[in-house]
Amino acid sequence: MERAMKPIIRATAAFALTLGLTASALAQAASINGEVKKIDETTGKITLKHGPAKGLGMDEPMTMVYRVRDPAMLKQVKVGDKVSFEAEEAASGYTVTKMEKAK
């Protein structure tokens, strides 16, 4: 009986880990409101002043430089634009994964 329980326990643990990672990814995908302060197309980076980004562990408003996943995003905004964006943390820093002008 003990032998039969080990695969069930492993499967349950793997499922719980998957749920945890999915919840973490969803939390990071929450939209953040901000303002474009600087655009650097040559490096594929954008400087954004934004409010708290709790999904990224940022509890205070701040101004930060982000990489962009798709350099075409930089052509859709200009300095001073209000934006709503999503970002994720990677080993190389924070990356904007989605961005649109605020309505």
Q: Is 71 helix (H, G, I), strand (E, B) or coil?
A: helix
Tell me the mean pLDDT in the region 18-26.
Answer: 47
For the chain, domains (ranges, CATH) are: 31-101 (2.40.50.320)
Q: What is the pLDDT of residues 25-43, one digit of tens each?
A: 444 457 999 999 999 999 9
Q: What is the pLDDT of residues 30-79, one digit of tens each?
A: 799 999 999 999 999 999 999 999 889 899 999 999 999 999 999 999 99
Contacts of residue 102, defined as CB under 8 A and 6 or more positions apart, other chains included, come to: 33, 81, 82, 83, 84
Q: What is the pLDDT of residues 80-100, one digit of tens each?
A: 999 999 999 988 899 999 999
Q: What is the DSSP letter of 13?
A: H
Rounded Cα distance between 59 and 99, Å, is: 20
